[in-house]
Amino acid sequence: MSVFVAIVGRPNVGKSTLFNRLIERREAIVDAVSGVTRDRHYGKSDWNGREFSVIDTGGYVTGSEDIFEQEIDKQVQLALEEADVIVFMVDAHAGITPMDKEVAKLLHRIKKPIFLTVNKVDNPKLLQNAVEFYGLGFDKYYTIASTNGSGTGDLLDAVVAAFPKKTVVEEEDLPRFAVVGRPNAGKSSFINALIGKERYIVTDIAGTTRDAIDTKYSRFGFEFNLVDTAGIRRKTKVKEDLEFYSVMRSVRAIENSDVCLLMVDVTRGFDKQVKNIFWLIQRNRKGVVILINKWDLAQKETNTLKKVEAEIRKEIEPYIDVPILFISVKEKQRIFKAIETALEVYKNRSQKIKTRKLNDVLLPIIESFPPPANKGKYVKIKFITQLPTTQPQFAFFCNLPQYIKEPYKRFLENQLRKHFNFTGVPISIYMRKK
């Protein structure tokens, strides 16, 4: 079950800096100008073994004439409704401001775990002065300095402890295949063609499917849940409240899936937004099958199958071990092949390789092509094992793990893919001290 943590507060209190620290990369723009974060950014983080998604919202501003700030207000309120846990950030240097009080008033109406976080506490005097924030009406506050990470550990301990408890529902413990992509790429039509009934409304208007809908489906002697999602549009196009919900739930559907069928409209191509969805699938370590839909239309043009496939593989480098199928939902061409391929990817993702077999196959290869020496140090890999996780993760035990660089990890991944079938599946490699 995916968990969403929203970071909210007025502009310029340090929300994006904390977001960047949590996801360990600089995705959100950090700037001293108010309102730089125009909409939510999504990222993945984990703490104490619990993985979660982080939403960085624009600053909450009331009574503004600025159209951007009005949109930010709306988006923050929607993020609050969709989030499981909320981090309410204020600025120790500024003290309590009227806008802080407005945000607090909004939050007091929400029955969710809320963590008042006093940011920019970088000296003992500010630590003492932080008591004034009790005036916002919360039982407790946390002091942090998001620029250097001070205090974030205690905050995250409390945040993770407030996560909803994991629930296991046996009858729903089926593999989940999510059909994702941009609006109007043919996702609902694809599912209608598979199940043989018009369960989903299909129109030419982008965004008709507002929610993620599960359908229990059986094919090739295998039962699973088929999930139709709302199309994911570029953030600049997300204007309606319902459209935002659609994006949130599509992200949730990806996070809760085992395999994603990424539907691409060949007439629009593998554009930047489709590529973003692909990398979102990758960051979540899900299996993936790329479906190029409306191929019946493209065949009338000069595009050739090999040319289009080569272009897509170039776009998704270096992760090119992905099945790409050319289908036509309208003509029912290769739609069952798409499901059969998704099942193969699911089996690839679920496979467990015996430790002895791993070592028998890979250790001779590593001996013939050892890691390059670093600063006169020679790395010796002694032992390999697959970790007991839901997706393929491998630990390579060696004497000097710190000297193994990314190019050699890619070499090891390529060897795993060459000798074991992991098509469509991300692989994680960890170097461990032996």
Q: Of 228, 212, 130, nearest to 179 (Cα)?
A: 228
Q: pLDDT at position 348, please? A: 94
Q: What pLDDT is attached to residue 223?
A: 80
**C-alpha to C-alpha distances, 386 to 72, 202, 212, 326, 408, nearest whole angstrom:** 45, 44, 33, 34, 18
**Residue 234 pLDDT:** 47
pTM (2 decimals)? Answer: 0.63
Q: Where are the alpha helices (DSSP H) in 130-240?
A: 152-161, 187-195
pLDDT at 245: 47
The 3-class SS string of 48-75 reads CCEEEEEEECCCCCCCCCCHHHHHHHHH
* 38, 68 Cβ separation under 8 angstroms: yes
Q: Both ends of the chain: CA-CA distance in Å?
A: 34
Please tell me the predicted confidence (pLDDT) of residue 71.
52
| Sheet of strand 393-398: strand arrangement | 381-386, 393-398, 428-433
How crowded is residue 137: how many other Cβ atoms within 10 Å of its Cβ?
Answer: 12
Residues of the chain short of pLDDT 70, as ranges, are: 1, 25-42, 58-79, 166-173, 197-214, 230-250, 298-303
Question: What pLDDT is attached to residue 22?
Answer: 83
Q: Evaluate whether 117 touches 155 at the Cβ level (below 8 Å).
A: yes
pLDDT at 168: 45
